[in-house]
Amino acid sequence: MAIRWGNYKVANLHDELLRASGKPRPYAEDLCEYLRNLTDAEILEYKAGADSAIQVMGITFRVYNDEEGSIDRAWPFDIIPRLIDKKEWENIEVGLKQRVKALNMFIDDLYNDQNIIKDGVFPADLLDKSKNFLNECKGFSPPLGVWAHICGSDLVRDNKGTVYVLEDNLRVPSGVSYMLENRQVMKRVFPEMFEKLNIMPVDDYSSDLYDMLAAMSPRDIAEPEIVVLTPGIYNSAYFEHAYLAQQMGAELVEGSDLVVGEDDCVYMRTINGLSRVDVVYRRIDDWFLDPEVFNPESTLGVPGIMRAWKAGNVALANAPGSGVADDKVVYAFVPDIIKYYLNEEVILPNVPTYKCVNEDERAYVLENIASMVVKPANESGGYGMLIGPHSSAKEHDKFRKLIQEDPRNYVAQPMLILSTAPTMVDTKVEPRHLDLRPFILSGKDVKVTTGGLTRVAMIKGSTVVNSSQGGGSKDTWIVDMEGS
Amino acid sequence: MLSRVANNLCWLGRYLERAENTARIINVNSNLLLDLPKSISLGWEPIVDILSYRELFYSNHKEAVERNVINFMVADRKNLGSIISALSAARENARTIREIIPREAWEKINELYSYAKENCQKAQARRSRYAFLSEIIQCNQTITGILAGTMTHDEGYAFLRIGRNIERADMTTRIIDVRSASLLQDTETSQSAFENLQWMSVLKSLTAYQMYRREVRLRIRRPDVLKFLLLENRFPRSLLHTLQQVEHCLKQLPNHEDVIMQIRVVENHLLEANPQSLIQEKLHDFIDDMQLGLNTIFDKINETYFYHQQ
């Protein structure tokens, strides 16, 4: 037999499937038993089956390469799913809804009355220094007060078993297409498990997304025109843009396909002439969205689209300026923000976060930098970070300097030991660290994906799960134990 | 359908057709030169002229010798009409509309480009040239087949075919023009054996030889060849046929009235032509009219579907 759970070492770790060597968690018992009975040949066959399914489905992300232009690369996929008990998930779901609701109220407040600042809960000077606060959005409130229609929040679990929110992505979070496609692949690879276990489906996301977007339409018509605005084929997430457009039956457009008329309405150029657009699910950053207002050099955007948006003639999802609430300094305030707007205690805790802008917290960070993770406020994708325990003394000094020069731009967190799950290495299993990115849709109501995208660091010991830096993914099963 | 997508489909059709036609022309010229005696040296310059790249060619080459022309027409990326440039452009167009065309077609286009890129040196040696060019042609034919057999025959497919037929019409007129003007003596009565060969090569450049033979059993004569290539509406590379195809495709599209009217103008002019009287200057002028007509049609298509004003 290829997989021996007795040899699987989880000391000092929290493993998502096993509570100790050879001891699966209750909801993972059937799966572990099934895997234990597979021969090497079967494992290789299933892996090959998954690989070819990924090939056939064309699940890729794009990497730029000088010689060939852009190339599509298949994202590493592990055939062992990550399981979560439905009971635990329901609590997480409530926590995510609470969080996104409060964040949307926060953004709306910042661009309007700024009560949270007046009441002394959020410091005014933090807002002044925020790169993502857009003056152009001041005094505006989108329909229903929703700014971040689509949010991707990254969850991690530490070795004590506590689930934390690591960060919120309120601008153009990506990855949901991989969540959907991973499930399709798994249904081909392990159909038996889907019969045996009560695994909650994920595939209503596309229609939920469509419904949410359609509800944002400024025109009250039966079939509003929804488009997905992509930067184009060279973007690393182009596959996802095309995929979501296709799933929703929406046009996939580039900036040059859209034009804003003198009536401040958005139109797309079709072979029938100009055709009115109601909702733009934009997958390009604020800075490139409208050359009239933001980066004048941008050829990806649509001149005048901000005018159209402010005139209420088009819905933009996510709303420009939403990013103000996802920088890593604001993150540290989220528990206070939830308390302030909802008068509730935070359900999903933040990772303890030291704000370098506060003198005593900064002193602590400078002192303990070797054991901490330091993050710049406005970067994503794992760039510009310091992982203290994995860095040299020289790098520690470099970041000490960076922090002292611009304390507002840095936060620090203790180094968490992320939870693991069994991951195939050849025909054996080894623990690999992972996180989870659920997606939260906010419209008339708030909906959370069933589970989300599990990203796994394929390199032994690594905790970097980003696709651009050697990460892979797993299917995520929310298992209903009571129903089985 | 988005204008950008329609435009890309149209140019995908054009570029693929261009690569195929260029391959055919080179193949035929290679064969023709082997048959002609040394005294009648037609050489390779007409090939440069067919695609109107004389200026670009001579800015980089001194002489229109075989080696230079082959390289220019097959592998030179500075020449936008070269096989490699056409295939590269086709691939880029296909890439941006991957969601629209069948996956197999995209893969085949990709494969064709890679093949051309890796093997274009084979076009230099006479021994391997035929095999290389045949592969390009056959691969193109396969792509056409995949598209016809697996793509929904919707508006997008109509644009693809419009592009293909416009390009084909353009190439047919260019070949007739260059071959007749610079190569062929219009001595109607005294057909030399070599003139015969040259008219044959015109037919072969358009893969029309066999079909012509089935239609016209007589000896190969200029007026018959012209009639066949211009007016035989059952032959898929004749000018009349390509125009009718464009018209047929347009009928599936919105707002086609103005474009079709433009096609009718060119078509009527074509139908009035008397191949018997189309000699030398007259033929050249007539072909010029046809080319201008094609340009007007394409401009009208651009204006109606791709670059319409607000």
Tens-binned pLDDT, residue by residue, of chain A (484 aa): 578 999 999 988 999 999 999 999 999 999 999 999 999 999 999 999 888 877 766 666 655 544 445 556 667 899 999 999 999 999 999 999 999 999 999 999 999 999 999 999 999 988 887 888 999 999 999 999 999 999 999 999 999 999 999 999 999 999 999 999 899 989 988 899 999 899 999 989 999 999 999 999 999 999 999 999 999 888 888 889 999 998 998 999 999 999 999 999 999 999 999 999 999 999 999 999 999 999 999 889 999 999 999 999 999 999 999 999 988 889 999 999 999 999 999 999 999 999 898 899 999 999 999 999 998 876 655 678 898 988 999 999 999 999 999 998 899 999 889 999 999 988 899 999 999 999 999 999 999 999 999 999 998 888 888 776 778 999 999 999 886 5
Residue B144 CA to residue B86 CA, distance in Å, equals: 16
- In chain B, what residues touch A254 (CB-CB under 8 Å)? 4
Is the distance from CB of A168 to CB of A325 less than 8 angstroms? yes
- Amino acid letter for position A18: L
What's the pLDDT at A182? Answer: 92
- In chain B, what residues touch A233 (CB-CB under 8 Å)? 95-96, 98
Q: Does B254 touch chain A (CB under 8 A)?
A: yes
What's the pLDDT at B250? Answer: 97
Is the distance from CB of A377 to CB of A328 less than 8 angstroms? yes
Treating both helix axes as pointing N-terminal to C-terminal, what angle do B257-271 and B280-301 enclose, rounded to 10 degrees? 170
Is A123 exposed, middle or buried (CB count within 10 Å of its CB: 0-12, 13-18, 19+)?
Answer: middle
Q: Does B310 touch chain A (CB under 8 A)?
A: yes
- Amino acid letter for position A210: Y
Half-sphere exposure of A238 (CA within 13 A, CB side): 21
- In chain B, what residues touch A267 (CB-CB under 8 Å)? 310
* Residues contacting residue B221 through CB under 8 Å, at least 6 positions apart: B191, B199
pLDDT (mean) for B120-125: 91
Token pair of A254, please? Answer: 């580039």
A252/B99 Cβ within 8 A: yes
Name which of B95, B96, B305 is nearest A271 (Cβ-Cβ): B305
Q: Where are the alpha helices (DSSP H) in chain B?
A: 3-35, 45-50, 54-60, 66-74, 83-96, 103-119, 126-150, 155-178, 193-205, 209-215, 222-231, 239-250, 257-271, 280-301
What's the pLDDT at B88? Answer: 93
- Residue A317 carries which DSSP code? E
B1/A270 Cβ within 8 A: yes
- Tens-place pLDDT, residues B68-115: 999 999 999 999 889 999 999 999 899 888 888 998 898 899 889 989
Tell me which chain B residue has its CA closest to the CA of residue A267.
B310
What's the pLDDT at A136? Answer: 93
CA angle A241, A243, A246 (to 5 degrees): 110
Bond preceding residue B79 cis, omega within 30 of 0: no
Residue to test with chain B: of A271, A272, A277, most B Cβ within 10 A: A271
A271/B6 Cβ within 8 A: yes
CA distance A267 to chain B (A): 10
CA distance A424 to chain B (A): 30
What's the pLDDT at A233? Answer: 83
- Amino acid letter for position A433: H
- In chain A, what residues touch B95 (CB-CB under 8 Å)? 233
Q: Does B2 touch chain A (CB under 8 A)?
A: yes
Residue B256 has pLDDT above 70, yes or no: yes
Tell me which chain A residue has its CA closest to the CA of residue B250.
A271
- Amino acid letter for position A349: P
| Reduced 3-state DSSP string for A265-283 | CEEEEECCEEEECCEEEEC
- In chain A, what residues touch B10 (CB-CB under 8 Å)? none
Bond preceding residue A318 cis, omega within 30 of 0: yes
What's the pLDDT at A64? Answer: 53
CA distance B122 to chain A (A): 22
Name which of A246, A270, A272 is nearest B99 (Cβ-Cβ): A246
Q: Where are the alpha helices (DSSP H) in A369-448?
A: 393-405
Token pair of A253, please? Answer: 């457009």
- Residue A255 carries which DSSP code? G
Give DSSP secondary structure letters for B38-50.
TTS---SHHHHHH
Residue written as tokens 């340009």?
A: B295
Tell me which chain B residue has its CA closest to the CA of residue A58.
B103
CA distance B3 to chain A (A): 4
Token pair of A122, please? Answer: 């959020």
A58/B103 Cβ within 8 A: yes
Treating both helix axes as pointing N-terminal to C-terminal, what angle do B3-35 and B83-96 enclose, rounded to 10 degrees? 160
Percent of chain B residues past pLDDT 70, beyond the cut? 93
Q: Identify the band that residue B190 occupies on the pLDDT scale cut at 50, 70 and 90.
A: very low
How many of the other CB atoms lie within 10 Å of CB of B133? 23
Q: Does B103 touch chain A (CB under 8 A)?
A: yes
Give CA torsion, residues A257, A260, A261, A266, to 10 deg: 80
- Tens-place pLDDT, residues B13-36: 999 999 999 998 898 888 878 777
Give DSSP secondary structure letters for A352-363.
P-EETTSHHHHH
Residue A424 CA to residue A432 CA, distance in Å, equals: 9
What's the pLDDT at A381? Answer: 57
What's the pLDDT at A310? Answer: 96
Residue A102 CA to residue A347 CA, distance in Å, equals: 12
- In chain A, what residues touch B3 (CB-CB under 8 Å)? 257, 269-271
Tell me which chain A residue has its CA closest to the CA of residue B6.
A271
Helix (H, G, I), strand (E, B) or coil at A263: coil
CA distance B146 to chain A (A): 17
A256/B4 Cβ within 8 A: yes
Residue B307 CA to residue B310 CA, distance in Å, equals: 9
| H-helix or E-strand spanning residue A251 | strand A251-253
Residue A75 CA to residue A455 CA, distance in Å, equals: 11
Q: Identify the band that residue B207 occupies on the pLDDT scale cut at 50, 70 and 90.
A: confident
Tell me which chain A residue has its CA closest to the CA of residue B96.
A233
Is the distance from CB of B93 to CB of B101 less than 8 angstroms? no
Q: Does B107 touch chain A (CB under 8 A)?
A: no
Residue B255 CA to residue A24 CA, distance in Å, equals: 66
Among A130, A48, A143, CA closest to A406: A130
Token pair of A80, please? Answer: 């062992």
Q: Does B114 touch chain A (CB under 8 A)?
A: no
User: How many CB pairs below 8 A link A and B?
Assistant: 44
- In chain B, what residues touch A274 (CB-CB under 8 Å)? 308, 310
Is the distance from CB of A213 to CB of A317 less than 8 angstroms? yes
A257/B308 Cβ within 8 A: no
Average pLDDT over chain B reads 88
Domains of chain A: 354-414 (3.30.1490.270)
Largest separation between any pair of C-alpha atoms in chain B: 60
By DSSP bridging, strand A150-157 and strand A163-169 are antiparallel
